[in-house]
Amino acid sequence: MRRLLLLLSIAAAAGAYADSPLFTSRATLPSLSGEQIYEHICQGCHMAGGQGAVGAGHYPKLAADKNFISWQFVATTVLNGRNGMPPFGYPSGQDMQSGPAHLSDAQIADVVNYVRSHFGNTYKPQVTAKQIAALPHPAAELIGPQ
């Protein structure tokens, strides 16, 4: 079934928008860069330009965020989620269509570097996949029906 679903999602991803990585499937997700991950996933809540948004609650503004001085803070948030933000650090293979999306340590490093060096943030140095790998990740688990 895995193989079939993979084929199906590849077929879906190769649709009318060949110029764009939309829509991402489990097969194409690993090739997304930090910038693409931001634009196609993070931006849904944190908005273009990292502007955040306010309603009954709020999505934090990433532009000029002082917490970003700690790359560990940003990386831990992406890996494990925070206050309703979903974790993206689940082991590969747990990201069924229904479940959370899995990003590799290299991708998480890439997206951490992207948000810490954009939107008015000018933090250095660059974080590596190895540094991300050393942080706590969410536990492996099978995701039941939601």
Partner 1 sequence: MDNGDASSALTRRQLLHMIGATAGAGAMYQAMSSLGFAAESPYKGPIDLQGAPRNASVLILGAGMAGLTAAYELRNAGYKVQVLEYNARPGGRNWTLRGGDRYTELGGLTQQCEFDKDLYINPGPWRIPYHHHGMMHYIKLLGIPLEPFFQVNYNAYIHSSGAFGGKPQRYREVKADYQGHVAELLAKATRQKALDATVSAEDQQILLESLRQWGALDKNYRYAAGEQVSDRRGFEKKPGGGLSGEPVHSSPVALHDLLDSGVWAGIASGDAFDMQTALFQPAGGMGRIGEAFGRELGPLIRYNAKVTDIHQDDRGVTATYIDSQKAGAPQTARADWCLCTIPLPILAQIPMNVSQSMGAAISAVPSAPAIKAGLQFKRRFWEEDEQIYGGITYTDLPIMSIGYPNSGFQSRGKGVLLGAYIWGLKAMEFTAMPPQERVQRVVDYGSQIHPQYHQEFENGVAVAWHRVPFALGCFGSWTTETRAKHYEDLCQIEGRIALAGEHASHLGGWQEGAVTSALDAIGRMHRRAVAQGEKA
Rule CB under 8 A: which residues touch partner 1?
Answer: 1, 4-5, 7-12, 15-17, 22-25, 29, 39-45, 47, 51, 53-59, 81-87, 95-101, 139, 141-146
By beta-carbon proximity to partner 1, the closer residue of 54 and 124 is 54
By beta-carbon proximity to partner 1, the closer residue of 77 and 113 is 77
Q: Smallest gap, in angstroms, from Cβ of residue 125 to partner 1? A: 28
Q: Smallest gap, in angstroms, from Cβ of residue 126 to partner 1? A: 25
N-to-C CA span, the chain: 20
Please give the C-alpha separations between residue 48 and each of 1, 32, 94, 95, 104, in angstroms, as whole numbers: 37, 17, 28, 25, 23
Q: Smallest gap, in angstroms, from Cβ of residue 133 to partner 1? A: 21
By beta-carbon proximity to partner 1, the closer residue of 84 and 125 is 84
By beta-carbon proximity to partner 1, the closer residue of 40 and 118 is 40
Q: Smallest gap, in angstroms, from Cβ of residue 140 to partner 1? A: 9
